[in-house]
Structure 1
Amino acid sequence: MSNPYFRTACAVALAAATSGCVTTMGETPTQQLEVHTILDHREVAGVGCVLSNAAGRWFVVAPGRVTVERSRSPLTIDCARAGTGDAREVAVAHATSFFDSDRLIGNIIVSAGGAPYINANDGSGVAYQSTLTVLMHPAPAAAGTPGASGENGNVVF
């Protein structure tokens, strides 16, 4: 058929179907997170943090940014700095909204919108909170320093 409208309609349908395949299969399995550490209502700099989930482990010095691999498993954040304190937090992966996605039309055409939610083992369709605030616990005071507690609970000076 040499009808120009028919060729245009076929080209548009092919482009929409192809872009849906590429976008659905090409979902980024990683996510960039920002990590902040807080102690006594103040941000503490130079704190080493290890983030881990079922997909792997990553290191960052807070405050800082790190790229992690998405997973449906919780993200554990362990932070510590000698003489300052330590912390352990857990961030749960939340489902990303289907309608916030720029691949809405491709998903509808290719997979009826269910492609990012089919595989329960990978990180597609989920994300962690983009800014993680870790509340640190102060390091115990060393014995013999002002303000340290003695064995009987009395303050040692």
Structure 2
Amino acid sequence: MYRLAAIAALALTAGCATLTESTQQQVTVQTILDNREVGGVGCVLYNDVGKWFVTSPARVTIRRSAAPLRVDCKQDGAAWAYEKVDSKVNSSVWGNVVLTAGAGYLVDRNTGAGFDYPATLTVILHKGEEADGRAPPAPGVTVY
């Protein structure tokens, strides 16, 4: 009887991303200008659970989230980029949905453990003010 209960408990947690996956993820940030990688660009990555500062190219550990990750980069007024990267549901969530009738999905969504961002974030930089009239937005303005 106790064995059956233990097996059932194990089966219920087997797919739970909160228990099997970390809420942390390493991502690599690379910046591109005129089809070439550019180093020394300051970038801020942020989502609803944190903010991280890097100088590209770099690898940084961030907190996972179901929310998009914003990547804002700037190089001495010469180049800039504002991008949004959506998170994707990872494979651990599907087992959780099946085994817990969806209840565990809510936990994974709140902790971010059930979601991944791309491992490499390639940020395309724009020079100062573009010919089409685009310019970097004012500080604090969200661009999607």
Q: Under a length normalisation based on structure 2, what TM-score does the superposition of the two structures give?
A: 0.70
Aligned AA (1:134): V
> Which of 113, 121, 144 is matched with 1:132 structurally?
121
Aligned AA (1:121): N
Distance 1:138 1:31, change over 3 A: same
> RMSD between aligned alpha carbons?
3.1
Determine if contact 1:20/1:109 at 8 Å carries over to the other structure: no
Task: State the identity %.
Answer: 42
Distance 1:108 1:39, change over 3 A: closer
**Does the alignment pair 1:87 with 2:81?**
yes
Determine if contact 2:65/2:111 at 8 Å carries over to the other structure: yes
Q: How does 1:5-44 map to 2 (within 5 A)?
A: 10=3, 14=6, 17-18=9-10, 21=13, 24=16, 25-26=18-19, 27-44=21-38
Report the Cα offset of residue 111 of structure 1: 2.5
Larger relative contact order, structure 1 or 2 (CA cutoff 8 Å, min sep 6): 2
Determine if contact 2:11/2:99 at 8 Å carries over to the other structure: no
> What CA distance in whole angstroms lies between the structure 1 residues aligned with 2:104 and 2:39?
37
Aligned residue pairs, count: 126
Q: Give 3-state SS (helix, strand or coil) of 2:66's partner.
A: coil
Aligned AA (1:76): R
> What CA distance in whole angstroms lies between the structure 1 residues aligned with 2:55 and 2:80?
13
> Which of 51, 54, 61 is matched with 2:48 structurally?
54
Gaps of 5+ in 1: 1-5, 141-157
Distance 1:28 1:135, change over 3 A: same
Distance 1:39 1:28, change over 3 A: same
Q: Under a length normalisation based on structure 1, what TM-score does the superposition of the two structures give?
A: 0.65
Please name the residue that 1:117 is paired with: 105
Determine if contact 1:34/1:64 at 8 Å carries over to the other structure: yes
